[in-house]
Amino acid sequence: MEALPPSLLGLTTYLLSKTGKAARGRLAARLAADGLRMWHMAVLAALADFGPHAQRDLSARLGIDPSDVVKVLDELSAPGFVDRARDPADRRRVTVTITAGGRRELTRLTQEARAIQDELLAPLDTAERDQLHDLLTRILVQQLLSGPGAGG
Amino acid sequence: MEALPPSLLGLTTYLLSKTGKAARGRLAARLAADGLRMWHMAVLAALADFGPHAQRDLSARLGIDPSDVVKVLDELSAPGFVDRARDPADRRRVTVTITAGGRRELTRLTQEARAIQDELLAPLDTAERDQLHDLLTRILVQQLLSGPGAGG
DNA sequence: TAAAATAGTGGGTTGAGACCTATTATTGGG
DNA sequence: CCCAATAATAGGTCTCAACCCACTATTTTA
C-alpha cells in the first residue's frame, strides 16, 4: 500500500477536505440513484423543517443562486415532491410547498444518509461520533457567521 | 440570519461535506493565487516526502490518472518546481524530482494552509483540534483500506 | 402613472476533477 | 527477432457546482 505524504496528512485542512469529499461522494451516489443531487435534498429539508418558501427565500436560506433554485425545483416538481403555487398576495412570487411524497422521499434519503454515516464513521465509537459532530458543528457555525453575512 | 435546516445539521455526513468544502475552497483559493490547484500541492508533497518518483508511481500513490499527472507536471515544471529526467535504466520512464524552488513553494503553501487552518478551527482549543485531527485521520485510514485496494 | 425594484425563468459560461482512448517509444518475454 | 506489455503523452469527454445576464411579469415608489 503506497502511503500518502505525511506533509498532507499532518494538515487538518487536508483531512477535512478529503473526508468531506468521501462523505459527499457517497451521499451523492445514493442521491443519483433517485436522479437527485445535493441541492434537491437540501431544498426538501428546508421545506420540511421551515414550511413553504418563496423561491427567493429558499435561495437566501441555502445560499444557492436564484436561477439554480428554478432548475432544482423543476426537477423536484416533476416527480411530485414539491408544489409550486403563485402567491395571490404577490403574484410575482411562487410559494413552494413540500408534498407528502416529498416528505417520504426526504425520510428515505435521510435514512440512507445515516446508513452511509455508519459506514463512514465505523472506526469511531458513539462518544467519538458525538464529539466529531459537535466539533464540526462549531466549525460550521463560525463559518456561517464569518462568511456570507459577516458583521451582523 | 436564515437558519439552515436542522434535518441537515443533524447529519454528520452533511457537516463533513460542508466543512470539507469550506476547507477545500479556502485552500484552493490560496493555491489559485499561485496558479496552482490541489494536485500540484499533493505532487510536491509526495516528492518532498518520498523522494523522486516515476510518473506512474506518482499516479499510483496519489490515486490520480496517469494522463492527469502529465498535465500537473507540465504546470509544475514551467515555474521550475520539479525536474523531469528520462531514466537511463528504463528509457520509457521519466524520473520526477522536486527542486529547491519546489521545496520553497511547498513550504510556503504549507504555511498558508496552516494559516487557513487556524482561521477554520478558530472555535476549537488545542486539545479539540488534536482530537479532530485524530478522528479524521481514523476515518480517512479506514476509507483508504476499504476503498481502492480493499481486501489486500 | 411612469419609473424603479423585485421574483421568477431561460439560456448560457467557466473551472475543477475524473475518466477514457489512441499514439509513440521502449522494454522484456517467447 | 517479433509481439505483448509498459510509460508517457496528447487530446479529448462528462458531470457538478457556481456563476451571470437578459427577459417577462408584477409590484412598489416617487
Chain C: nucleotides below 7 Å from protein CB are 6-12, 16-22, 25-28
In chain B, residues with a C-beta closer than 8 Å to the C-beta of A60 are 2
Helical (H) or strand (E) element with A95: strand A94-98
Q: What is the pLDDT of residue A127?
A: 97
Structure confidence at residue B58 as a pLDDT band (50, 70, 90): very high
Edge-to-edge, what's the strand order for the sheet holding B82-86? B53-54, B94-98, B82-86
Q: Would you kindly state where each structural domain of chain A is located, as residue ranges?
A: 23-146
CB within 8 Å: A13 and B23: yes
Q: Given A5, A22, A42, which is nearest B49 (Cβ)?
A: A5
Mean per-residue pLDDT for A29-43? 92
Q: Which residues contact A34 (CB under 8 A, 6 or more apart)?
A: A105, A109
Taken in order A56, A57, A58, A64, the sign of the CA dihedral is positive
- Report whether pLDDT(A146) > 90: no
- Report whether pLDDT(B151) > 70: no
Within an 8 Å CB–CB cutoff, is residue B57 touching chain A?
Answer: yes
- Report whether pLDDT(A55) > 50: yes
Closest chain B C-alpha to A89 CA, distance in angstroms: 23
- Those of residues 64-103 in A touching chain B at CB distance below 8 A are none
Q: How confident is the prediction for chain A on average, in pLDDT?
A: 92
Q: What is the pLDDT of residue B1?
A: 53
Q: Which of A10-24, A92-106, B53-67, B138-152 has the lowest mean pLDDT?
A: B138-152
Q: What is the pLDDT of residue A144?
A: 82
Closest nucleotide to B25's CA, by C1' atom?
C16
Within an 8 Å CB–CB cutoff, is residue A124 touching chain B?
Answer: yes
d(CA A21, CA B115): 21
- Report whether pLDDT(A151) > 50: no
Q: How confident is the prediction for chain B on average, in pLDDT?
A: 93
d(CA B37, CA B39): 6
Q: What is the pLDDT of residue B3?
A: 87
Window A19-78, strand D contacts by Cβ < 7 Å:
28, 32, 37-39, 64-65, 67-68
What does the pLDDT look like over B71-107, one tens digit per residue?
999 999 999 999 999 999 999 999 999 999 999 999 9
Number of cross-chain residue pairs from A and B with Cβ atoms under 8 Å apart? 197
| DSSP annotation of A89 | S
Structure confidence at residue B152 as a pLDDT band (50, 70, 90): very low
Dihedrals phi, psi of A138, to nearest 5 degrees: -65, -40
Q: Which residues contact A84 (CB under 8 A, 6 or more apart)?
A: A73, A77, A94, A95, A96
CA within 13 Å, CB half, A38: 18
Mean per-residue pLDDT for B119-140? 96
- Report whether pLDDT(A148) > 60: no
- Report whether pLDDT(A18) > 80: yes
Return the CATH class of domain B26-145: mainly alpha
CATH fold, domain A23-146, is: Arc Repressor Mutant, subunit A (1.10.10)
Q: What is the pLDDT of residue B147?
A: 63
Q: Determine whether the distance from the CB of B120 to the nearest atom of strand D is below 7 Å.
A: no
Q: What is the pLDDT of residue A7?
A: 95
- Report whether pLDDT(A99) > 70: yes
Nearest Cα residue to B48 out of B95, B112, B106: B106
d(CA B97, CA A5): 15
Q: What is the pLDDT of residue B148?
A: 58
Q: Give the residue carrying C-alpha cell 436564484.
A: A66
Contact B43, B76 (CB under 8 A): yes
d(CA B7, CA A119): 19
Question: What residue type is assigned to position A54 of the chain?
Answer: A
Mean per-residue pLDDT for A59-87? 96
Q: Is A46 exposed, middle or buried (0-12, 13-18, 19+ CB in 10 A)?
A: buried
- Residue B94 pairs with which residues in a beta bridge? B86
